[in-house]
Structure 1
Amino acid sequence: MDALDLKPLGTLPDANGAVLVELLHNPACKLLYVRWFGNLTGREVVYVARESLKLQENMHFALLLNDKTNATGDWSETLEWLEYEWLPQIMAGGLRAIAYVFSPDMHNQLASLEFFERVRQYLPIQLFHDTPSAWQWIRRQPPPLRATVSEEPAL
């Protein structure tokens, strides 16, 4: 993953204080990389999704690499919220493609497959079993649009 040239943005904890996600980004590619950990619940997925909306307001990332390699759990109760609340907002902020790395956990995979089916009607999304393949695909997406003056972060 060194080829991604990722810069850390921080982590978000779960209810017990353990790392739930690690957030990294590549400003040149306008990529947000979200690496998940632990047994996920719907509440935790919504929490991270809301935090990603806050990041999107300032960063306007175009590409999302969502890596659930180290996660388990069934979060399917959040699928409608993700499709009808989160997705329109994140797309309005500039998201235009998602590379999605499967968890090895079957319950998580079932929720991920349903998420994939819901999202693919709105924007390009691809499922992967490993992060290098996901990176290869996401970097072939069209280059991000140049930021306008209003989109550039204030110093």
Structure 2
Amino acid sequence: MEQKIELKKVFGDVFFTAERVGENAYVNAQWFGVQSVETVKEGGYKMLEMMLEKPYAKLLNSNKHVLGSWDMALEWAENEWAPQMKKAGLRYIAQVVPSSIYATLTIESLIHKIDDQFEIRTFEDDEDAKAWLLSVEAMKSTT
């Protein structure tokens, strides 16, 4: 199993990275640049593949470097990705929102559609998102 995954577009631009942090603390997924249906699906399927190799309950999904909307992939994310990830064990999503208003609107739309399946919190930076995910572990172990 790879420690860090990096996906690139045809001309070599990285559009997605993912890596496990800690023994199984969380998966850190980072998205970059303009996204298309194809890149969203490729990154989403990579997260699912990681989940099937070794399940994880927490995801830091950072879109802070995304430009523009990727709403053309919302239906897939809602109807395919989210149910498969939930079934495989994902429970918590720390969503870092981008500075792009269009990408932020897309994320808000997705959250509205899938928030009944996961506990989702939004953040402006990765450090706050990471802190919340690590606190969830502490809360979960006390319940």
TM-score by length of 2: 0.88
Runs (4+) of structure 1 moved beyond 3 Å?
A: 142-145
Say whether residues 1:87 and 2:96 are aligned partners. Answer: no
Residue 27 (structure 1) shift: 4.1
Of 93, 96, 117 in structure 2, the residue corresponding to residue 98 of structure 1 is: 93
Q: 5+ residue gaps in structure 2?
A: none
CA displacement 1:69-90 (0-9 Å, x = unmatched): 1111211121121111111111
Q: Say which SS state the counterpart of residue 136 (structure 2) adopts.
A: coil
How far apart in 2 are the matches of 1:30 and 1:59?
A: 12
Same amino acid, percent of matched pairs? 24
Q: What is the match of residue 40 of structure 1?
A: 35
Q: Structure 1 residues 135-144 or 57-66, which shifts more?
A: 135-144
How far apart in 1 are the matches of 2:9 and 2:101?
A: 21
Of 116, 127, 130 in structure 2, the residue corresponding to residue 121 of structure 1 is: 116
Q: Say which SS state the counterpart of residue 86 (structure 1) adopts.
A: helix
RMSD: 1.9
Equivalent pairs counted in the alignment come to 139
How far apart in 1 are the matches of 2:54 and 2:8?
A: 21
Say whether residues 1:24 and 2:7 are aligned partners. Answer: no
How far apart in 2 are the matches of 1:16 and 1:102?
A: 26
8 Å contact 1:21–1:35 — kept in the other structure? Answer: yes
How far apart in 1 are the matches of 2:42 and 2:73?
A: 11
Q: 5+ residue gaps in structure 1?
A: 1-6, 146-155
TM-score by length of 1: 0.82
